[in-house]
Structure 1
Amino acid sequence: MSEHRLHLAEAKLAQAKARRGQPISHILMEEGRVAPTEMLGAMAEASRIGQSVPQVVVAEAIASREEVLEAQAQHFGALVLRRRDSPPDPAVIDRLPPEFCLEHGVLPWMRVGDTLLLATSRPDDFPDLLPLLPPDIGPVVMALALEADIHAEISARAGARLAEAAETWVPDEDSCRDLNRMTPRTRMLAIGAGLLCLVLLLLAPRLLFGAALLLALGSLVLAQLMKLAALAALPRRAPPVHATLPADPPLVSILVPLFREEDIAQTLVKRLSRLSYPKALLDVVLVLEAEDQLTRETLSRTRLPPWMRTIAVPPGRITTKPRALNYAYRFTRGQIVGIYDAEDAPAPDQITRVAGHFARAPAEVGCLQGILDYYNPRANWLSRCFTIEYASWFRILLPGLSRLGFVVPLGGTTVFFRRAVLEKVCGWDAHNVTEDADLGVRLARHGFRTELISSVTREEANNRFWPWIKQRSRWLKGYGITWWVHTRNPRRLWRDLGPKRFVGVQLLFLTTLVQFALAPVLWSFWLILMGLPHPLDPHLSRPLILGLTTLFLSAEAVSILIGLAALARSPHRALFAWVPTLFAYFPLGTLAIYKALWETLRNPFYWDKTQHGRSAPDRPGSDLPPEG
């Protein structure tokens, strides 16, 4: 280190010590950074939520981070280090692992003589950090730096390694990343299954068709019974839950993955700004891909509030949402970690409800799933049907399955975790295109429960034909991959889940996949109604045809019942008349599953991106769920 740099550092340190010990609030007021009335309000808020005054002052935009940093430096008598003015010394950065630095908000910056200047963005926690340092690190003096500078330096120096770790955080036995690595055994099984089907098609087509019919009918019956059981498990009226802040409210980190989002950034900031949770306890991270210049340029023109920031994920072998989440997670420190999508409009009191629910719930409740709804249900027929389907899923099936004690496959957004639980299950599988459903199963396998909360997030219904097919094919591909990952070792899955939940996983995933894949087998019975020959004509007696007709009509009746019951629990009762049209909506899933099957063979980890911002809310304010 040069003599000039050494003297400059010592001069700045001496200047910082001039006001050592003075309250930060007084320093900010004396320097004219904060008006006394504003400081009184900040101090009252800090007392209410149990946080420091500087944290509140920054979060509420009363003073800038730089102004508060200078005041902290005077209070602690510490040197301020800025990346642009005095970049960290590469020779000392590696004295501490990047994971440790991210967890504790520190970075080895430079040496002044034999003393290491250890920069921190959390000076109040520095005394507790000292015993955790390696004994051979030498004399250490605290310096102050912006968290953004610490994160930027860690990203520049260790981003590639952290990104690679994000791809492989989930252990091999729980991940699907070996799906495209066919072993001789799996190759022989695949070839054998294909040859068997081909031989049966050539020599005994009726046998093959009959087996497919039995499988399709069995899945249809089991699926409808599961829906009725979920409906029966629900209470008639859920008790009202008021949003109250817990006595010791936690810091909540919200990850919002963005990719090629040009039209949604400003709207997203506006919608998340409605959240009523204390801003000093809210850390919203917009997660970007490093090569996504479109979104980065859009955000550069958007003024972000102090409690919102961006993290860029370095490029890697794959580009998926779960990989981005794993990477960005390391740059957060919230005791609760939540996920929102780019187009989400959560209820203003949602985070308060989540924090309160976790405070009351036992430790085994590791995850909370909110209700997803749409703000553009009347855009067209497809959006109406999608809204009915979502109402059925989030207001009937998921809460019913949860009350029955089955595994809950999570939605990709409005889902919240205890931080310790995410660490326990090793985050998201970076290669799974339905990382949410997979994580729901892994949570259950580790002994954690997922509970449903009544808070609603509105989002945009994907209501264009081909984008809908692409989105649904990704979901179905992920469902198939998730089932395969967790069932490839059935004994272990049985041991982890127990008989009841093991059967539940098979029912939930297999009935979904089989129904869509073998739907054409059931459609073939329309040939009989049209007076055309059917492959099973010799075996179709009149009583059998009547029985099948009764079964099909009963299945439709169950679907209508579930749709009506779901809408009755939602604000979309005007869609009652559209419920019978679902018979024409669900066949679209069959097109999607064949696309999914082709992609599973060709490119199982391909993430078919859904574009947001294509359909506006039906009316002003319809993207804002009511509080309470």
Structure 2
Amino acid sequence: MQARQNAPLGEILIGEGWASRGDVLSALSDQTGLQIADLEQTPPTAELCALKPVEFWLKHNVLPWMRVGPILLIATARPDRFDTVSDALSDTGYTILPVLAGTEQIDAAIASHFAAELAQAAETRVEAQQSCRNWTAIARVRPIAAALLLMTLFASFPMQGLTVLLWTTLATLALFLLLRLSGLVAYLAPRKSRSVAAEPIRLPCVSVLVPLYKEKEIAEVLIARLQRLTYPKALLDVILVLEEQDDVTKAALRDVELPSWIRALEVPKLGKLTTKPRAMNYALDFCRGEILGVWDAEDAPLPDQIETVARHFAAAPEDVVCLQGVLDYYNPRTNWRSRCFTIEYSGWFRVILKGIARLGLVVPLGGTTFFFRRDKLVELGGWDAHNVTEDADLGVRLCRAGYRTEIVNTATYEEANFRAWPWVKQRSRWLKGFMVTYLVHMRAPLRLLHDLGPLRFLGLQAFFLGTLGQFLFAPVLWVFWLIFLDLPHPFQHIMTPEFLRGCVYLFLTAEVANLLVGLLGVIAGNRRFLMPWVPTMLLYYPLGVLAAYKGLWELAVKPFFWDKTQHGHAAEEV
């Protein structure tokens, strides 16, 4: 068993439930003759912890426990790797000797001693040029003033303003249509599949972050879903990431017995910022896996998902540093909105996103079920703690660094947001995040063009401008219904019959493409019962206009506000 799993024998015994951590630590003490240190009873001093930066202690998962004259006792859970630690500490002037401690105790002690430093680092991991954290109130004055000036000019010169508005609307529609058609064609085109190894020679350790915030209903269900995973438990490192002040989730977890391979980690409070990416940045330093993934609180991943990811990474080129899984919903029958949401996700993740990835374009990551080579994620600086769509931003940054994302053949099922106002709140956060991400990366458009290349640059414009434009400028498109009904409309003096005919062709092409994508998506997801509902998607998207303008308003007044989505309102459908 150990020959196939890249884990110590003790971890395998613990993961399989054949021994407790205390039993393994005692056996290791008997085997090595090393003392067991109790870091809770006798915690390390700040003076000793200051001998090396926190990055050193985290990297080696060790901590100085006690000084006895010229001897410095270092707590470690892996005495087999202690020579490297001893060599690195030779410059302290002490004689370095090991003592044993559990990994959890070492992590807890590091977190306690370096809480403020680690919390601050979690907010500033991404370099300032590619972060939105400088989007302060003062920084927002100029763009707000520019927007007000545009509105004034529009009111002063209405005909010219309507012309610009119409052309802008059509341009964003054309961009979005181009992206969807490109993804659709790439999805349908025959493609030689890469041979994927049955499994790596030695399975890697995989860490998965599950950020939780005010999750009263989901804790017990979440643990039950995670226990369906079939990956060797000795190689699973699932971290439930909690906020220090989140008494709701902590109370919910208090009554749940966590398996040995699941642990909870509290993120220290620092200022007012409470976002998912900040929490994940903090937890990133405590991960043990070579591969790191993310799931949301309501997720139900396929049981063999981690095996699929490990096989894909083992066969993928080195520049593939991220795998995005398919997101789907487990409650499509709840009501009409959940059906439409499922159709939307099926078309995007099962059709368009696969095509985009095959074309080598920027893949805007979903907020869950993506997996990274952990060293590359650290190299990229983790997540932008202030961006409310940190996933899409990370997808852009990895492309700018010369890396690629591929779509992995596995799925995670989530709870479709089926109530109107919560749907608006969730969608407004996504759209606000898209606005922020676009503005951040377009600060220096020539540099962005250089980093991405022309094709990826165009793809990025098509995704962000097209997505945002379809919601922000939707009222302009609605005006065309007045034309079809032969009623007066504001564009009647600036549109020729030929121009109108061209617009009609564009709209029809867009709608046919949307129908085709929706149908292919539900077929690919084995949800054929949703096919009759695909034409009703025309009535589903208008609510997104409200979400877009809510997001635009928040962009100006509270860009870092995380409009929390509550989960646990729908049961899984069989």
TM class by shorter chain equals: over 0.9
Letter in 1 for 2:31: H
Q: Write the mapping of 1:120-269 to structure 2, written as runs, cut at 5 A.
A: 120-183=76-139, 187-188=141-142, 190-202=144-156, 204-235=157-188, 244-269=198-223
Contact 2:196–2:315 (8 Å) recurs in 1: no
Q: SS at the partner of 2:526? A: coil
Aligned position for 2:393: 438
Letter in 2 for 1:163: A
Aligned position for 1:515: 470
How far off is 1:547 after superposition? 3.6
Contact 1:242–1:353 (8 Å) recurs in 2: no
> Superposition RMSD on alpha carbons, in Å?
1.7
Q: Write the mapping of 1:584-599 to structure 2, written as runs, cut at 5 A.
A: 584-599=539-554
Contact 2:175–2:465 (8 Å) recurs in 1: no
Q: SS at the partner of 1:422? A: helix
Q: How many residues align?
A: 572
CA deviations 1:359-398 (Å, max 9, x no partner) are 1111111100000111101110100000011011101111
Residue 311 of structure 2 corresponds to residue 353 of structure 1 = no
Letter in 1 for 2:202: D
Distance 1:165 1:603 in 2: 22
Q: SS at the partner of 2:259? A: coil
Aligned position for 2:269: 315
Q: SS at the partner of 1:196? A: helix
Aligned position for 2:243: 289
Letter in 2 for 1:135: D
Contact 2:187–2:352 (8 Å) recurs in 1: no
Distance 1:376 1:573 in 2: 15
Distance 2:518 2:27 in 1: 59
Q: SS at the partner of 2:573? A: coil
Distance 1:47 1:545 in 2: 69
Residue 42 of structure 2 corresponds to residue 81 of structure 1 = no
Residue 232 of structure 2 corresponds to residue 278 of structure 1 = yes
Contact 1:271–1:345 (8 Å) recurs in 2: yes
CA deviations 1:536-583 (Å, max 9, x no partner) are 223344444444333322221111111111112111111010000010
Aligned position for 1:476: 431
Contact 1:346–1:457 (8 Å) recurs in 2: yes
Letter in 2 for 1:143: V
Distance 1:559 1:247 in 2: 43
CA deviations 1:301-324 (Å, max 9, x no partner) are 101000010100001230000000
Letter in 1 for 2:561: Y
Q: SS at the partner of 1:234? A: helix
Contact 2:417–2:423 (8 Å) recurs in 1: yes
Pick from 535, 546, 549: which aligns with 1:580? 535
Q: Select between 127-136 and 302-311 the one with higher mean Cα deviation.
A: 127-136
Residue 494 of structure 2 corresponds to residue 539 of structure 1 = yes
Distance 2:142 2:303 in 1: 55
Aligned position for 1:563: 518
Pick from 396, 410, 413: which aligns with 1:458? 413
Contact 2:4–2:203 (8 Å) recurs in 1: no
CA deviations 1:300-349 (Å, max 9, x no partner) are 11010000101000012300000000000111121101101111111111
Distance 1:507 1:228 in 2: 11
Distance 2:511 2:412 in 1: 29
Q: Write the mapping of 1:413-428 to structure 2, written as runs, cut at 5 A.
A: 413-428=368-383
CA deviations 1:52-81 (Å, max 9, x no partner) are 221111111211111111111111111101
Aligned position for 1:108: 64
Distance 1:541 1:498 in 2: 38
Contact 2:6–2:204 (8 Å) recurs in 1: no
How far off is 1:137 after superposition? 4.1
Contact 1:244–1:352 (8 Å) recurs in 2: no
CA deviations 1:26-59 (Å, max 9, x no partner) are xxxxxxxxxxxxxxxxxxx223324322111111
Aligned position for 1:31: none
Contact 1:244–1:353 (8 Å) recurs in 2: no
How far off is 1:408 after superposition? 0.5
Aligned position for 1:339: 294
CA deviations 1:281-302 (Å, max 9, x no partner) are 1100000000001101111110
Contact 2:6–2:235 (8 Å) recurs in 1: no
Distance 1:55 1:296, change over 3 A: same
How far off is 1:213 after superposition? 1.1
Contact 1:367–1:416 (8 Å) recurs in 2: yes
Distance 2:6 2:352 in 1: 39
Distance 1:614 1:236 in 2: 39
Letter in 2 for 1:93: C
Letter in 1 for 2:414: E
Contact 1:243–1:349 (8 Å) recurs in 2: no
Q: If the length of structure 2 is used for normalisation, what is the TM-score? A: 0.96
Contact 1:371–1:414 (8 Å) recurs in 2: yes
Structure exhibiting the larger radius of gyration computed from Cα positions: 1
Contact 1:96–1:107 (8 Å) recurs in 2: no
Q: SS at the partner of 1:283? A: strand
Distance 2:501 2:143 in 1: 39
Distance 2:196 2:539 in 1: 40
CA deviations 1:383-439 (Å, max 9, x no partner) are 000001101110111111111111111011100000111121110000000000000
Residue 264 of structure 2 corresponds to residue 299 of structure 1 = no
Distance 1:190 1:608, change over 3 A: closer
Q: Select between 225-234 and 284-293 the one with higher mean Cα deviation.
A: 225-234
Q: SS at the partner of 1:49? A: coil
Q: SS at the partner of 2:3? A: helix
Distance 1:235 1:97 in 2: 52
CA deviations 1:97-152 (Å, max 9, x no partner) are 22211111101001123211100012221123222225124101110011111111
Distance 1:267 1:182, change over 3 A: same
Pick from 402, 422, 441: which aligns with 2:357? 402
Aligned position for 1:608: 563
Distance 2:65 2:494 in 1: 81
CA deviations 1:246-297 (Å, max 9, x no partner) are 1021111110000001111111111111111111111000000000011011
Distance 2:474 2:211 in 1: 34
Distance 2:42 2:209 in 1: 31
How far off is 1:188 after superposition? 4.5
